């Protein structure tokens, strides 16, 4: 088979159809190096194929035992734990929002105009932004004892730096014109905040807080593993005794609850927007 | 005269009704919110827990126990001297090794998850997968993965695969597949269709279309999302260790078991530093990717 058009094109512009071999070689070597690094990491972590196979066998058996899901006659207790999980998420989000609000104001470039102070404050928040709620929960449980209280504080601590960052960004993004308008009418600084800034900021902030409530309901579900109450505790207990039909029941119930909260929250957020 | 009067009256009446409705809505909304808040605080034992009150006192006591008691003149002394840096970070090599394991878990899981997500994204993109049932099924699977919290998945996988990094890598791989699969599919659907049509016109098969029509357009975006995911996976991997999935989280758990709160603080600082470094790295690479895209 002859390809006259191809040969012609190759003659005119060889680089367009075939990369030079140096580049091809470099790409291949880089790809091989990356693969070798990944394999090296897998070896270092002792990820053995044998363990993988037996694990999948066990996992298959667990999944088989999950059907049919069963409440184990404890549906009331499970529902109560689910309510507790929601309570933790709600209380944690509320605390986080209340604490993050003043921090967000301090972090906003338009409020605190000192560049060095602004930079230092933002970096300070950044340091804590990555710490997951579970890591906070682990230590708070030993400080406050077993129970949902530690979970609430853990959720709040994990959210505060993130919410504060979002709050200060939306404060910075607020349109300056309404503020000037209110100010030019002779209003006091407080009135400027109330009638110039708040109407712009409140819907955005509420929407962000609702978004964090959704996330917290997911996070709250696992804090029980370290003893911070809620559905995670019930789950952990049943996984330990291999009662997978009850595990499946709880997970299904929880996933339905998560979907309900997400839908409700999305409806609220759409109304705000 | 009479007409305008009634018009004004109607307006006033309507306005009053609207104001009343708005206020009732606000009051009812506020009442529901307050009740929910009160019940939440009550249920989460905020006002009094089973194990006695005085949470502030306990918090202060606990913060005090977290203080490693460093003494300026003893900082560089050996491990046996209380108050030296060495006695605080007494197992630093082990912790750094565990931290590196966590990083490895995150990188491996991000790489594997991205490759799987790549495959899934072609199966769910409207412009690349013509069969609707396949799109529907793959989409629902990805959604289910996203709904299930990582740690619950990790609990089950630890039960199946045993304590160790394997369960952690698998958990993060699956959750990365769920998250990135959706994002990748969205990128795929936004590509320029003309390049695909040109390839189709020249008789290219589906694989060639993906390789020459899709990949060059989407690769920078993919890489950017994968790097963001890497940041999240690192924090996730640190947390997964707590439930037995290997890495630095295991050390945290151990410090708590022995109530070594100052050790906990030391390991927490290592975790924060680790996350901070990866964030910096990822941000740097992402900005370069965006720069390359512009050039």
Q: What is the pLDDT of residues A8-51, one digit of tens each?
A: 777 777 766 667 778 888 888 988 998 998 888 888 888 878 88
Chain B nearest C-alpha distance from A42 (Å):
7
For chain A, positions 227-266, list CB contacts with chain B under 8 A: 229, 232, 235-236, 239-240, 242, 247, 251, 254-255, 258-259
Q: What is the pLDDT of residues A50-93, one digit of tens each?
A: 888 888 888 888 888 888 887 777 888 888 888 889 988 999 99
Q: What is the pLDDT of residues B50-69, one digit of tens each?
A: 555 566 677 777 777 777 77
Q: What is the pLDDT of residues A97-153, one digit of tens each?
A: 999 998 888 888 777 777 788 888 888 888 888 788 888 888 888 777 778 888 888
ipTM of the complex: 0.77
Q: Do B104 and A222 touch (CB under 8 A)?
A: no
Q: Which residues 6+ apart lie within 8 Å of A68 measured at CB?
A: A245
Tell me the three-class secondary structure of A163-205, residue by residue.
HHHHHHHHHHCCCHHHHHHHHHCCCCHHHHHHHHHHHHHHHHH
Minimum mean pLDDT among A10-19, A52-61, B100-109, B241-250: which range? A10-19
| Chains A, B: CB pairs < 8 Å | 176
Q: Which residues 6+ apart lie within 8 Å of A10 measured at CB?
A: A17, A18
Q: Do B49 and A149 touch (CB under 8 A)?
A: yes
Q: What is the pLDDT of residues A167-222, one digit of tens each?
A: 988 888 888 888 888 888 888 888 888 888 888 888 888 888 998 998 899 888 88
Sign of CA dihedral A70, A75, A79, A85: negative
Within an 8 Å CB–CB cutoff, is residue A63 touching chain B? Answer: no
Q: Using CB atoms, pick whichever of B161, B238, B271 lies closest to residue A51.
A: B161
Q: What is the reported pLDDT for B294?
A: 45
Average pLDDT rounded to a whole number, residues B272-281:
86
Q: What is the reported pLDDT for B291?
A: 67
Give the C-alpha separation, A213 to B29, whole Å.
Answer: 17
Chain B residues close to A247, C-beta within 8 Å: 156
CA A75 from centre of chain: 29
Specify the higher pLDDT residue, A16 or B135.
B135
Specify the higher pLDDT residue, B201 or B175.
B175
Q: What is the reported pLDDT for B172?
A: 93
What global pTM score does this model have? 0.79
């Amino acid at each position: 088979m002859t390809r006259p058009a191809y040969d012609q094109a190759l003659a005119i512009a060889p680089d367009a159809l075939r990369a030079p071999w140096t580049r091809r070689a470099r790409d291949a070597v880089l790809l091989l190096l990356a693969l070798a690094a990944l394999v090296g990491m897998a070896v270092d972590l002792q990820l053995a194929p044998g363990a993988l196979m037996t694990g999948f066998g066990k996992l298959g058996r667990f999944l088989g035992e999950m059907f049919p899901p069963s409440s184990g006659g404890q549906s009331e207790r499970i529902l109560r734990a689910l309510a507790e999980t929601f309570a933790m998420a709600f209380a944690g989000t509320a605390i986080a929002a209340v604490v993050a609000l003043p921090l967000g104001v301090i972090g906003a470039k338009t409020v605190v105009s000192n560049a060095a102070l602004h930079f230092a404050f933002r970096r300070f928040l950044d340091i804590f932004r990555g710490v997951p709620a579970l890591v906070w929960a682990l230590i708070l449980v030993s400080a406050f004892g077993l129970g949902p209280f530690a979970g609430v504080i853990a959720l709040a601590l994990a959210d505060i730096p993130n919410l504060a960052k979002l709050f200060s960004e939306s404060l910075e993004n607020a349109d300056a014109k309404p503020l000037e308008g209110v100010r030019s009418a002779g209003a006091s600084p407080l009135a400027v905040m109330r009638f110039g800034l708040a109407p712009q900021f409140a819907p955005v902030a509420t929407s962000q807080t609702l978004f964090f409530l959704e996330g917290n309901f997911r996070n709250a579900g696992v804090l029980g593993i370290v003893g911070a109450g809620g559905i995670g505790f019930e789950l952990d207990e049943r996984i330990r005794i291999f009662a997978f039909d009850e595990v499946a029941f709880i997970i299904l119930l929880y996933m339905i609850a998560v979907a309900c909260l997400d839908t409700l929250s999305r409806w609220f957020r759409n109304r705000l927007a | 005269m009479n007409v305008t009067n009634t018009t004004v009256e109607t307006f006033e009446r309507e306005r009053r009704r609207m104001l009343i409705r708005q206020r009732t809505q606000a009051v009812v909304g506020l009442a529901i919110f307050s009740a929910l808040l009160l019940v939440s605080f009550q249920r989460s034992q905020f006002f009094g827990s089973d194990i006695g009150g005085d949470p502030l006192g306990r918090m202060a006591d606990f913060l005090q126990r977290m203080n490693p008691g460093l003494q300026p003149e003893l900082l560089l002394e050996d491990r046996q001297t209380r108050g030296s840096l060495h006695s605080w970070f007494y197992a630093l090599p082990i912790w750094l090794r565990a931290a590196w394991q966590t990083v490895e878990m995150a990188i491996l899981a991000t790489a594997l998850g991205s490759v799987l997500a790549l495959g899934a994204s072609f199966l769910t993109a409207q412009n690349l997968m013509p069969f609707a049932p396949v799109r529907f099924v793959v989409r629902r699977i990805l959604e289910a993965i996203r709904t299930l919290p990582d740690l619950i998945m990790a609990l089950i996988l630890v039960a199946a695969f045993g304590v160790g990094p394997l369960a952690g890598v698998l958990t993060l791989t699956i959750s990365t597949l769920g998250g990135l699969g959706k994002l990748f599919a969205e990128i795929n659907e936004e590509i320029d269709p003309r390049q695909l049509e040109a390839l189709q016109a020249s008789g290219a098969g589906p694989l060639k279309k993906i390789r020459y029509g899709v990949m060059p357009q989407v690769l920078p975006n993919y890489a950017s999302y994968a790097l963001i995911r890497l940041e999240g996976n690192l924090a996730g991997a640190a947390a997964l260790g707590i439930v037995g999935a290997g890495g630095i989280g295991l050390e945290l758990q151990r410090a708590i078991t022995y109530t070594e709160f100052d050790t906990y603080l030391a390991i927490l600082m290592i975790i924060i530093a680790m996350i901070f470094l990866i964030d910096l790295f990822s941000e740097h690479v992402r900005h370069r990717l965006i720069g390359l895209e512009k050039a």
